[in-house]
Amino acid sequence: PDAPHGICGASADVLVTRNLLRAVAAGLGCYIHVVENTALNLRNTAIEKGTLKGLGALETLCKKFGITGTDDHEKALKVADAVLADIYKPEYVKMDLVEKMAYPPRFKVWKELGILPGGSKSEVFRGVVKTSTNLNSDPVNMLLDCLKLGISTGIYGLTLTNLLNDVLLGEPEITMAPVGLRVIDPDYINIMITGHQHTMFVRLQERLTDPDVVAKAQAAGAKGFKLVGCTCVGQDLQLRGAHYTEIFNGHAGNNYTSEAILATGGIDAVISEFNCTPPGIEPICEELLIKQICIDDVAKKANAELKPFVFASREEDTNAIIDELVAAYKERRPKVKLNLFPEHGYDNTLTGVSEVSLKKFLGNSWKPLIDLIVSGDIKGIAGVVGCSNLTAGGHDVLTVDLVRELISRDIIVLTAGCSSGGIENCGLMVPEAAELAGPKLKAVCKKLG
């Protein structure tokens, strides 16, 4: 470890940037997998003239992309095709939507730096090649590639995935929702969902409240079915919970909380399609007879049944899955002792904050928020987003402590992903959390109720 170079002559800078670029390429690959499937689901729904719940988001996308159409389905098809066409381009052809989506001054800088991304699937390929043994040894060149891949991740993997989800699943609405282990209602057949590809659950969500399907649950002794949110897909369902009040019982927790959620015994099945579905849940499912079904083999668990999501056969596949859920419930409930925590979590957690819903809440203008920042009542806004991890003091410890510190200094925190799963379960997203804020932010919160 003390040698200035590796045996091949690579410096520490080369080794570190090579590993970083490889990790960034892998991360982009994951995000592009999600946006690709989301766009394909929107495309197929548009062709079948299925339900589009977020027409506001569709209009936003059409406006940004310069798309017109005779009806919403035609527009949705064109939007999905525009996204797919971009991500399937070769690496040497720049993607068209970057300029349409990006903040113009930022786009200008990217252009000047020469980091406008080509087709993102091909960029992942190039990143893997570039970081293989004794290929690129220029740290600056590799770091510029990290930035380039980051642009694809942000615009396609995050912004566009969210907007396409909005079109299919409905746009977020600001509301109060329950979180934590309390959302597990033992009277129902409980299905924990994990992953990031919410559009794969659309048909299942709809079917689970159909009278013939509810009757199957009732014949087995349950009141019906409930989806219990976990990881990012649960967080996403919570965000859009206003559209799913009947089937979605709340977000129980984030990535590693999934083990505790399952250990309650109240979950009858896990349906997973992406990360984070940690291998640590496998022995718990084994022990507590929890059925595991995986609908995308990229996240196949060792003891899960693989039932890949196929849009064309989703009706038969969904019905078959429902029969398996009922069978799992009937088999396990008489044998498994429940260890519920109905006191864990909160009933009134703020959710549904998006760029659109927040602006609407503020009276269709950002001015009230900007005024509060200018006057110093709010010192600023900080983002605490993405994955939480176990390394800094324990699960969620760093994120929760950080948020406590920020709000005590009159800084508003915007949170998403598994960070918010921990922050909300620790009571920092309920109105009562105003008591933990600094005096100025507290006064603003109280004024807003």
The two three-digit tokens of residue 365, written as one number: 């203008």
CB-wise, 190 or 231, nearer to ligand SF4? 231
Query: By the 8 A CB rule, do 191 and 228 touch?
Result: yes
Phi, then psi, of 155 in degrees rounded to 5: -75, -45
Phi, psi of 364 (to 5 degrees): 60, 30
* Of residues 265 and 417, the one with the C-beta less far from ligand SF4: 417
Residues forming contacts to ligand SF4 in the complex (CB under 6 A) are 231-232, 254-255, 275-276, 386-387, 417-418
Local structure of 412: helix, strand or coil = strand
Using CA atoms, how far apart are residues 312 and 67, in angstroms rounded to an integer?
Answer: 27
- Structure token pair of residue 427: 């009571």
Pick the closest to residue 95 from 152, 43, 141, 32 (CA basis).
152
* Beta pairing, strands 269-272 & 411-416: unpaired
Least distance to ligand SF4 from the beta carbon of 415, Å?
A: 11
CB of 417 to ligand SF4, least distance (A): 3
Closer residue to ligand SF4, CB minimum distance, 308 or 386? 386
**Smallest separation (angstroms) from ligand SF4 to the CB of 259:** 13
Question: At its nearest, how many Å lie between ligand SF4 and the CB of residue 253?
Answer: 10
Kindly report the number of other CB atoms within 10 A of residue 215's CB atom. 11
Element (H, E) at 324: helix 314-332
| Residue whose structure tokens are 């007879």 | 289
Q: How far is the CB of 190 from ligand SF4 (least distance, A)?
A: 19
The DSSP string of 92-120 is TSB-SHHHHHS-HHHHHHHHHHT---B-H
CB 246 within 8 A of CB 273: no
Nearer to ligand SF4, 98 or 384 (CB): 384
Distance of closest approach, residue 199 Cβ to ligand SF4, in angstroms:
16
Residue 293: strand pairing partners: 271, 305
In terms of CB distance, is 232 or 378 closer to ligand SF4?
Answer: 232
Separation CA 93–CA 183 (nearest Å): 48
Query: Which C-beta is closer to ligand SF4: that of 117 or that of 421?
Result: 421
Shortest approach of ligand SF4 to residue 26 CB, angstroms?
Answer: 12
Nearer to ligand SF4, 191 or 232 (CB): 232
Q: Is the dihedral of CA 430, 436, 441, 444 positive or negative?
A: positive
Comparing CB distances to ligand SF4, the nearer of 44 and 275 is: 275
Give least dist CB 279 to ligand SF4, A.
Answer: 13
